[in-house]
Amino acid sequence: MDITGILVLVGFLLFFGGMLYFAITSTRKEAEQKKQNAQSLGFSPVEADAKLTDEIAALYRRPGVQTRYELRNVSRRIIPDGEMYLFDLVDTSGEDDSWTEKQAVAIISPHLNMPPFNLFPKADQKYAISGLANKVLEWGMSFVGTPIEFSEYPEFASRYIVSSNEATDWVRGYFDQHLAGYFSRTKMFMLHAAGNIFTFSEMGTKLSDGDPSVISQRVHNALDVFRALQK
């Protein structure tokens, strides 16, 4: 190999090494920031065991799709009526990892008895393309469960779409006037729920800047939802 080829090879290795170092450093910095944010809110870092991973992953799995999930950057906090977690949910099924959730909240409590359901926000009706966007959302939700109509609660139905893989009558009954009214006063909430556990996040929330107030508000909202879901 001549000197030019050697220099090109060395340059490539240096560039690749630099990119790898930057990626590792950024990941470590982000993980440390998440840990500090969680600790400031009374959470303690924990290693997610198989039971917790299975309980949370089960809320996100789609029928007929084999998906491998991992929990990362997990922190735990005891609350009077159960346990609360901050977590990243990572889909490791493909060649590259895909983040399904970043610092979402999970609450597990014996005071919860919920049917399996997913709740996603609809596009704001004030936008011209909201009708098309909501039809696409409904189509996408059909792959994770059967969309459920709530025509008796038009304000709620205009803000959210709810789907379930089973027990649609139970879901429809669970979202009574009180619960539908509660969610009618919220925006952009996302929930995955079943039994004694639910996860909470919001669409459009930016967590990349590490602002602790964003996580603080998310935890506050999750606790508020927890109170509404108890029946």
Torsion of CA 176, 181, 184, 189, to 10 degrees: -60
> Tell me, what's the pLDDT at 166?
81
Per-residue pLDDT at 7 exceeds 70: no
Task: Provide CB contacts within 8 A for 5, sequence distance 6+.
Answer: none
DSSP per-residue codes, 84-141: EEEEEEEE-SSSS-EEEEEEEEEEE-TT--EEEEEEEEPPPTTSTTHHHHHHHHHHHH
> Tell me, what's the pLDDT at 77?
97
Query: Tens digit of pLDDT for each residue in 135-172?
Result: 666 666 666 678 999 999 999 999 999 999 887 899 99
Query: Tens digit of pLDDT for each residue in 82-140?
Result: 999 999 999 998 778 889 999 999 999 999 999 999 999 987 665 555 565 666 666 66
Domain boundary among 65, 86, 108: 108
Element (H, E) at 132: helix 130-141
* Residue 200 maps to a domain: no
CA–CA separation, 65 and 57 (whole Å): 13
Per-residue pLDDT at 75 exceeds 80: yes
Percent with pLDDT over 70 in the chain? 76
- Whether residue 151 sits in one domain with residue 78: no
* Residue 101 maps to a domain: yes
> Tell me, what's the pLDDT at 135?
64
> Tell me, what's the pLDDT at 21?
37
> Tell me, what's the pLDDT at 115?
96
* Residue 7 maps to a domain: yes
Provide the 3-class DSSP secondary structure of residue 36. helix
Per-residue pLDDT at 191 exceeds 50: yes
41 near 77, Cβ under 8 Å?
A: yes
Higher pLDDT, 27 or 156: 156
> Tell me, what's the pLDDT at 16?
47
CA–CA separation, 162 and 149 (whole Å): 8
Q: What's the mean per-residue pLDDT of the chain? A: 84
* Residue 217 maps to a domain: no
> Tell me, what's the pLDDT at 131?
60
Residue-range definition of the domain harbouring residue 52: 3-108
Rg (CA), the chain: 21
Query: Tens digit of pLDDT for each residue in 50-70?
Result: 999 999 999 998 877 788 999
- Please indicate, yes or no, whether the overall pTM of this predicted structure exceeds 0.75: yes
* Residue 172 maps to a domain: yes
Number of domains, the chain: 2
Per-residue pLDDT at 5 exceeds 80: no
> Tell me, what's the pLDDT at 175?
97
> Tell me, what's the pLDDT at 139?
64
- Whether residue 99 sits in one domain with residue 129: no
Among 31-35, 85-89, 175-179, 212-216, the least confident range: 31-35
> Tell me, what's the pLDDT at 167?
76
* Closest to 179 in 3D by CA, of 165, 196, 197, 162: 162
- Whether residue 59 sits in one domain with residue 15: yes
Provide the 3-class DSSP secondary structure of residue 125. coil
* Residue 90 maps to a domain: yes
- Whether residue 98 sits in one domain with residue 26: yes
- Whether residue 59 sits in one domain with residue 101: yes
72 near 56, Cβ under 8 Å?
A: no
Domain boundary among 67, 91, 108: 108
* Residue 174 maps to a domain: yes
Q: Which token pair is 130?
A: 């909201």
- Whether residue 85 sits in one domain with residue 15: yes
- Whether residue 134 sits in one domain with residue 97: no
